[in-house]
Structure 1
Amino acid sequence: MKSITKISLMGVAVSAILFSCAPQKTEEVVVEVAEMKTPTLTLLWETADSLITNESVLFDDATGTIYVSNIEGQDPLQKDGKGSIAIISKEGKIMNPAWVKGLNAPKGMAIANGKLYVTDIDELVEIDIATSKVSNKWKVEGAQFLNDAAAHNGTVYFTDMNTGKVHAYANGAITTVSEGHASINGIAVGTDGTIYGLDPSGLKKWNADGTSTVVNANVTGGDGLIILGDGNFVASRWQGEIWFANDSTQTLMLDTKAAESNTADIGYNAAEKIVYVPTFFKNKVAAYKLDY
């Protein structure tokens, strides 16, 4: 039995050697790697330059209405009663330059429960959309520079740039969600309720336990924030920059600093991928097609 086993194993070894030396049929495998497209913004239109010191643009997905908050005065903290909310068309025509007036220095806007909520220095102003009338005002305790706003499931979230706080309004009550975020401005809320914000530390998100995590540390000091989905964002910096960003990269898509045209609190039409840019001291809104 021993000799038979030995011969058999030797036969297998010889067969393997012969097989490995024989010419083999091979197939060329071609792997195509998709090249990531560079995100871009292409100018579509600009409004007339009569939206004085426009700070924020909000696109209403439900109606297609575009709201613009106008500070009107030169001082974003002055209570002068000159501020207003305008309405523009999707083609860039100013439909109503003073849809609501008598505000002070309106900035961020959000829609919830048929109301338009606007931050106005140290107050949250509620406007009934159906009647175009201010229906309520809430003084925010300790507020100094209320800025951006966003809504999710009936709750309105808004920031105070000077105090570093994030507030929330729901059912007639204002609470403080988080604090300790110096110079926080832009805010957005994902479909799952996750809050994202922009401050000098970068693009950050709030965790379920109340702590925050920096998603992108390079896009710092932002003004407006758009959630695109799949971990992608668009962020504006007031000085004149708009960035595409995620947790691993960032791309500068628009730089208008040389033209001294600001890029304040941007709005977004998700269905058509259009970014609306309030130019602040240039007194007009510019619309850009986003391609990514």
Structure 2
Amino acid sequence: MRAILKYSLLGVSALALYSCEAKKTEGEVFEVIEAKTPTLTLLWETPDSLMTNESVLFDETSGKLYVSNIEGQDPSEKDGKGSIAIVSKEGKILDAAWITGLNAPKGMAISDGKLYVTDIDELVEVDIATSKISNKFKVAGAEFLNDVAAHDGTVYFTDMRTGKVHSLANGEIATVSEGHESINGLAVGGDGTIYGLDASGLKKWDVDGTTTVINSTVTGGDGLVILGDGNFIASRWQGEVYFANDSTQTLMLDTKAAESNTADIGYNAAEKIVYVPTFFKNKVAAYKLDY
């Protein structure tokens, strides 16, 4: 918790003294205000029929949520059982089988009217307007594609087992970076800066392609949200959601005792709502963020 220093001057005479002589300190009052501890408050949960849901994506355009469902015990099995559901932002399941025929879909992002979702060793493109799969991009050497983020027409995605970050631009797959142990959660800032979660913690990519670890405590993270002003939300699959920055981290949610996972979270920035996929609990939970 950080202390904020508030400065004020009492009285007109004190203000006049300060205006004329900057060195004077008479009448100055320093008030220490404790910063608010970030919290999450449960708003709603869906029914437990979203089978092995791994990721939630809030669509700012439609106001709906996309939920990727592995629908199996093995997140690397090619069984054709995976799907994407649509849920309202009030928690009602609108379409449990919006997209079907996937294997083990995980992270998602939207770019230019298309929804992109990782599916083990390929990136699947879904045309949102027609609700149909419009393309599949096979990734050479991929083993466990995971989270996805998009910025300015480029789609970025991670491979947790190979430690690589890939990109899709103009129909071409490329490797952006590698050597990141258990890389998972991914987010891109408005200026194009890439942030990720791996075994070393929360890191960012510098202009020259090297990385800097911002927070070394939140390791092995799953979902990542950029709040701005150097603040982030990071989830760990085991059942933890953190508020984090470069100097501290606050555990806002701990569901390990309930054996409820906190996989790849989604975020509604306008209403400050965090959407948590609970994986084996088969439901999505929504929490109000206060910070």
Paired residue type of 1:266 = I
The answer to whether structure 1 residue 280 and structure 2 residue 270 are counterparts is no
| C-alpha distance in 1 between matches for 2:26 and 2:234 | 47
Deviation at 1:33, TM superposition (A): 2.4
TM-score by length of 1: 0.91
CA–CA distance in structure 2, aligned partners of residues 89 and 259 of structure 1:
25
Aligned mates of 1:282, 1:117 — CA distance in 2? 24
Q: Equivalents in 1 of 2:226, 2:204: separation in Å?
A: 12
In the aligned structure 2, how far is the partner of 1:113 from the partner of 1:29? 54
Residue 104, structure 1, aligned to residue 75, structure 2? no
Q: Which residue of 1 aligns with 2:75?
A: 76
- The 5 Å alignment of 1:170-249 reads 170-249=169-248
- The DSSP-based 3-state class of the residue aligned with 1:109 is strand
Which protein is richer in strand relative to its size? 2
Give the number of the structure whose alpha-carbon radius of gyration is greater. Answer: 1
Cα distance per residue 1:115-166 (max 9 Å; x no partner): 0000000000000000000000010000000000000011100000000000
Partner of 1:143: 142
**1:134 maps to amino acid:** I
Distance 1:168 1:214 in 2: 21
Q: Deviations over 1:13-57 (max 9, x none)?
A: xxxxxxxxxxxxx94432122321000000000000000000000
3-state secondary structure, aligned to 1:74 = coil
What 5-or-longer segments of structure 2 have no aligned partner? 1-24
Please give the secondary structure, in 2, of the residue aligned with 1:169: strand
1:55 equivalenced with 2:54 (yes/no): yes
Distance 1:131 1:67 in 2: 15
Task: State the distance in 2 between where 1:88 and 1:63 align.
Answer: 11
| 3-state SS in 2 of match to 1:282 | coil
Amino acid at match of 2:43: L
Query: Taking every aligned residue pair, what percent have the same amino acid on both sides?
Result: 82
State the Cα distance separating 1:62 from its structure 2 match.
1.8
Cα distance in 1, alignment partners of residues 32 and 126 from structure 2: 51
Corresponding residue number in structure 2 for 1:88: 87
Give the CA deviation at 1:272: 0.1
Aligned twin of 1:270: 269
Query: How far 1:80 moved relative to its partner?
Result: 0.5
Deviation at 1:61, TM superposition (A): 1.2
The yes-or-no answer on 1:64 pairing with 2:63 is: yes
The Cα shift of 1:257 comes to 0.1
* Residue in structure 2 matched with residue 14 of structure 1 by the alignment: none
Amino acid of the residue matched to residue 253 of structure 2? Answer: L
Q: Which residue of 2 aligns with 1:10?
A: none
- CA deviations on 1:53-72 (whole Å, 9 max, x unpaired) are 00000001122121000000
- 1:185-241 Cα distance to aligned partner (Å, 9 max, x none): 000000000000000100000001000000000111000000000000000000000
Q: TM-score, normalised by structure 2?
A: 0.91
Stretches of structure 1 that go unaligned for 5 or more consecutive residues are 1-25
CA distance in 1, matches of 2:64, 2:252: 26
Whole-angstrom CA distance in 1 between matches of 2:173 and 2:233: 28
**Residue in 2 that maps onto 1:12:** none
Q: Distance in 2 between matches of 1:223 and 1:27?
A: 53
